[in-house]
Structure 1
Amino acid sequence: MAVQPNSTNEAPWHAAYPAPNAAAGSLPRHELLQWFRDGKQPGKDFVLVDVRRTDFEGGTIRGSINLPAQSLYPTLPAVYALLANSGVTHVIWYCGSSSGRGPRSANWFADHLAQEQDASMQSLILEGGIKGWAAAGPEYTELMDEYDASVWAKK
């Protein structure tokens, strides 16, 4: 019998990479909402990174880039170089609920910042992830690209 992808015999996807050492900070969704209201722009003033593998299923927070967590670790030096050269100071990571892939990605990036001795950039976890954002009401969902309410009604 073949081993099923999520069986207990298979190591989790992140087992191929070192466990993060650093602890990224967190950002409550209401603070991110305020950044938008204050005119701060994703891609200029901060970077939002959606680490879900399913490419924005149900929508994503406006201005986010999609870097799936499962392929992130080997690309951290390139991601860091791009962000460092852009002058951005806050990188906000999220997944579905920000309880697994989002924090792991944010912590890996925090490790990389420490390795580079870069104190000018901060790695942050969006509290509640995209599920929390989508459930927080219209003032949040109006800031989502490709928002699909039917996807969130199932979650």
Structure 2
Amino acid sequence: MQSHSISALKHLDATELHQWMKQGHTQLGQPFQVVDVRGSDHIGGHIKGSWNYPYKTLKNDLDYLNKLRQELLKKSETEAATKTGAPTEGDEPAVINCVFHCALSQQRGPSSAMLFLRSIPEFQLNRFQIWVLKGGFNYWQSKYGLDETVTESYKPDLW
């Protein structure tokens, strides 16, 4: 069994995530999903296509955490099948890049990423690449808040 620490988390710059969003995949051609873990502060805008899984619920509800993992696996398999057709024997399992963030990505974002990473069964670890968005939504909105192609429901007066 592997041990995971917060220092092992990878950080993703907003500029790189923006490129992924414009391309529809990572630089390696892999699917990705942004997971916004803000709770009551999930107002004033969000990254387009992000899923809202509040940290408070993730940390207190294992079923909710498992639901997130299953949804991510489903998305990776769906996108892989769309891209290459039905998987055949010997194919590598589809990988999905999960980008966690909160307002600043200093507490809830990294904590959620660690919770998620530690919840992944060992046999599924190779299916996920876990990231934390540098600067969180606060930084994202300062660069891309007004870009409706990558930010939804943005209210600049709240920021």
The amino acid of 1:82's aligned partner reads E
Residue of structure 1 equivalent to 2:116: 109
Shift of 1:98: 0.2
Match of 1:124 among 131, 136, 157: 131
Q: CA deviation at 1:38?
A: 1.9
Give the conservation status (yes or no) of the 8 Å contact 2:145–2:154. no
Correspondence for 2:151: 144
Instruction: Provide the C-alpha distance between the structure 1 equivalents of 2:25 and 2:47, rounded to a whole number of angstroms.
Output: 14
How do 1:1-155 and structure 2 match up within 5 A?
21=5, 23-40=8-25, 45-54=31-40, 56-73=42-59, 74=62, 75-87=64-76, 89-113=96-120, 115-137=122-144, 143-152=150-159
SS in 2 for 1:136: helix
Could you report, residue by residue, the CA deviation over 1:100-126 in whole angstroms, capped at 9, with x for unpaired residues? 000000111111236444212111100
Aligned residue pairs total 131
Q: Is the contact between residue 27 and residue 125 of structure 1 (CA under 8 Å) also seen in structure 2?
A: yes
Query: What TM-score do you get using the length of structure 2 for normalisation?
Result: 0.72
Task: Give SS of 1:57's match.
Answer: coil
Amino acid across the alignment from 2:43: E
Q: Structure 1 37/82 Cα, relative in aligned 2: closer, same or farther at 3 Å?
A: closer
Q: Shift of residue 139 of structure 1?
A: 6.7
Answer 1 or 2: higher relative contact order, Cα 8 Å, separation at least 6: 2
Q: Percent identity?
A: 31
**Runs ≥4 residues deviating over 3 A:** 20-23, 114-117, 137-142
Gaps of 5+ in 1: 1-19
Q: TM-score scaled by structure 1?
A: 0.73
Cα offset, 1:68, TM superposition: 0.5
